Chain A
Amino acid sequence: MVDLALSEEFSAVSSREAALKRFGRSDMRFRLMTLGAALLVVAIFAGLMVSLLRGAWLALHTFGWSFLTTTVWNPVTGKFGAFAAIYGTLISSALAMLLAVPLGVGIAIFLTELCPRALKRPVGIAIELLAGVPSIIYGIWGLFVFAPYFQQHVEPWIIDAFAGIPYLQDLFAGPPYGIGTFTAALILAIMILPFISAVTRDVFETVPPMQKEAAYGVGCTTWEVMWRIVLPFSRAGVVGGSMLALGRALGETMAVTFVIGNAHRINPSLLAPGTTISATIANEFTEALGDTYVSSLVALGLILFGITFIVLAAAQLMLKSLDRRSGGKAP
């Protein structure tokens, strides 16, 4: 009897040990699998860097730093410089952000605080659908619908309005082509708007209602609640959503190619045709003949990689400094 009880106890202990071991093994397997997935990302990144550097080496070696600072892009003579494309990429994305961020945050505020219940879902769904439209659709729409309207009804008005004002008249100088850097920025703004407003709306909804109600309770206006309670609380999310949008704007290819005019020139006027890094690569890669030409296009890709990296790093730094200023209490 005693023996039996002992052996039963013993077997229970040993089966528990076996179970623990089994759990340990499966934990280990799971850990290795996730580690493998994480390492895969690092390996892909490293492979990408190596192949970009190898591809770009000839161009960087041939042109040196002048590749970054010259605007000449001549496949016939084999002289290439990336400055016009870099300039176009930065200007079109910056303009798009300038237009889309206030608008996107405004939409999110309306949806979370002011919108009548019946309208909330339809507007929210419409925004999410906009985010799913393929970029080629924006490109074709931009070229065939938006550009002609813009050319005939908006651009002449802009050019007239700013004529005679120093600096601004150069920034908005004619002739009205309908396509150009400004049109590309507008199309980009429409494309990134849903990213900003969808992410921002989601983070606004994570603000504890108690805080907002308390603020309303002490007599704050809606504007004060948004500006002093909601925005500080959800700062990280808003910046994150905006950076996601900026990433898309910097790399956007198809839509931009259709409406930017694809000219390797730097023109002070925003209405004039320009080009971007990704548009240049998409346009010229297939029929690029000659090693330096192909290498220069790969080098453009490397530069875009660098720009994206700098933008992401700057966003992280910005978030950190914001946190420090508010005493590190950000969520």
Chain B
Amino acid sequence: MKPVLNRLAGIALGAVLAGAAGAASAADMTGAGATFPYPIYAKWAEAYKKATGIGLNYQAIGSGGGIAQIKAKTVDFGASDKPLSPGELDAAGLTQFPTVIGGVVPVANIPGIKPGELKLDGPTLANICLGTVKYWDDAAIKRLNPSANLPHLAILGVHRSDGSGTNFIFTNYLSKVSPAWASQVGAATSVEWPSGIGAKGNEGVAGNVKQTKGALGYVEYAYAKQNTLTYIKMINHDGKAVDPTADAFQAASAKTDWAHAPGFYVTLTNQPGANAWPIAGATFILVYKHPGDAAKTKQVLSFFKWAYAHGDAMAKSLDYVPLPDSTIQAIDQSWHKNIDGAAVP
């Protein structure tokens, strides 16, 4: 009995020691937060490790978790799909900057309507989601699409049931273009939807839209592109109907006045520009302005600086939209302005 126990204890101890030795080495950066940019952060980190030997340990625990972790100082950076307001940033001593752009694309299932054939404007989209526009042949939709052959079919709204950055971008857009939406529902990673059904994840929304005649949903750009869903053209801030393309998402960021937005507190929805897609948003990184460990924060910023310079092709291969050069310059300036000199690469 005793020797067996001793041996077991020995094995257990050995396992613990091996585990400790196998854990992340001290030189690695740690980050936690949003799930939406996780694939691209992982890809950048892999390439960065090959180039510099410094690894990144990123835990995709969700934006709420990322904000909590950076506030608790258990990670070197936090990541959030929803930007913190300047007030929130100041209160916590944090600063933020965007990394990649994600676009949100409305998709529908209407018999006889091909991808890109239908176009909608913001107020109409908001009224559909509010449940006041109930049928596809409603006068408001017909007015925008005089030539389309629209059936008398009930519209079924399909939204993301899981809290997500996609939800935030979409509801933020509806709040900007519809006072009724702003006052009745608002913008957040989860909202109280007045109508429709909730589906889990992009795959759930895409699945429900594909299966249900009359359905209208919204998915991330990558999903719309890879699943060849019937996307809807949006009429943007300048009154032009645009297709959801990588260029259209970049255009939304290009005209944005990042330099005069304190803490990059900008959502790229309803931005000016003839080619700008109106429902876009960036995902953000949070670091301390006066970090306790300046060398660590410098490592983090160096990583993202490297990613801005070398990561565009990788981002595009995963259907993320890289930031335009003008935005990257504004980020660099904000680092020098806001963060302790010792921590800026």
Chain A positions near chain B (C-beta within 8 angstroms): 26, 72-77, 143-144, 147-148, 151, 175, 177-180, 257-258, 261-264, 273, 275, 279, 282-290, 293-294
18 residue pairs bridging A and B, Cβ less than 8 Å apart: A74-B192, A75-B190, A75-B191, A76-B188, A143-B199, A143-B204, A144-B207, A177-B212, A261-B198, A262-B198, A262-B200, A282-B162, A283-B162, A283-B198, A284-B190, A287-B163, A288-B62, A289-B188
Contact, CB under 8 Å: A286 / B163: yes
Within 8 A of A (CB), among B39-69: 61-65, 67
Complex Cα distance, B306 from A234, in Å, reads 69
Complex Cα distance, B62 from A286, in Å, reads 5
Contact, CB under 8 Å: A75 / B62: no
Complex interface: chain B residues within 8 A of A273 (CB): 197-198
Complex interface: chain A residues within 8 A of B82 (CB): 289
A72 is contacted by which of B192, B200, B204, B212 (Cβ under 8 Å)? B192
- Identify the closest chain B residue to A79 (Cβ): B192
Majority secondary structure, A binding face: loop
User: Is the C-beta of B189 less than 8 angstroms from some C-beta in chain A?
Assistant: yes
User: Is the C-beta of B187 less than 8 angstroms from some C-beta in chain A?
Assistant: yes
Complex interface: chain A residues within 8 A of B103 (CB): none
Contact, CB under 8 Å: B192 / A76: yes
User: Is the C-beta of B185 less than 8 angstroms from some C-beta in chain A?
Assistant: yes
Complex interface: chain A residues within 8 A of B208 (CB): 143, 179
| 6 additional A-B residue pairs with CB within 8 Å, beyond A144-B207, A287-B190 | A75-B192, A258-B200, A283-B190, A286-B62, A287-B163, A289-B64
Complex interface: chain B residues within 8 A of A178 (CB): 211-212
Q: Taking A76-B191, A258-B204 as contacts, is the C-beta distance between A285 and B211 under 8 angstroms?
A: no
Complex interface: chain B residues within 8 A of A258 (CB): 199-200, 204
User: Is the C-beta of B186 less than 8 angstroms from some C-beta in chain A?
Assistant: yes
- Identify the closest chain B residue to A284 (Cβ): B163
Contact, CB under 8 Å: A283 / B200: yes
Q: Taking A151-B211, A264-B192, A283-B198 as contacts, is the C-beta distance between A76 and B187 under 8 angstroms?
A: yes
- Identify the closest chain B residue to A254 (Cβ): B200
Total number of residue pairs linking A and B with CB closer than 8 Å? 108
B158-201 contact mask (Cβ, 8 Å, vs A): 1 or 0:
00011111010000000000000000011111111100111110
B185 to chain A, nearest CB (A): 7
Q: Taking A287-B63, A287-B162 as contacts, is the C-beta distance between A257 and B200 under 8 angstroms?
A: yes
Majority secondary structure, B binding face: loop
User: Is the C-beta of B76 less than 8 angstroms from some C-beta in chain A?
Assistant: no
Complex Cα distance, B163 from A85, in Å, reads 16
Complex Cα distance, B207 from A261, in Å, reads 13
User: Is the C-beta of B35 less than 8 angstroms from some C-beta in chain A?
Assistant: yes
Complex Cα distance, B68 from A295, in Å, reads 14
User: Is the C-beta of B1 less than 8 angstroms from some C-beta in chain A?
Assistant: yes
Complex Cα distance, B64 from A284, in Å, reads 10
Contact, CB under 8 Å: A151 / B212: yes
Complex Cα distance, B215 from A148, in Å, reads 13
Q: Taking A144-B207, A175-B154, A258-B200 as contacts, is the C-beta distance between A287 and B165 under 8 angstroms?
A: yes
User: Is the C-beta of B121 less than 8 angstroms from some C-beta in chain A?
Assistant: no
User: Is the C-beta of B81 less than 8 angstroms from some C-beta in chain A?
Assistant: yes
Contact, CB under 8 Å: A147 / B211: yes
A64 to chain B, nearest CB (A): 20
Complex Cα distance, B167 from A151, in Å, reads 26
User: Is the C-beta of B156 less than 8 angstroms from some C-beta in chain A?
Assistant: yes
Q: Taking A151-B212, A263-B193 as contacts, is the C-beta distance between A287 and B198 under 8 angstroms?
A: no
Task: Please indicate which of the listed interface residues A258, A275, A290 has the most CB atoms of chain B within 10 Å of its own CB.
Answer: A258
A55 to chain B, nearest CB (A): 13
A287 is contacted by which of B1, B64, B192, B197 (Cβ under 8 Å)? B64
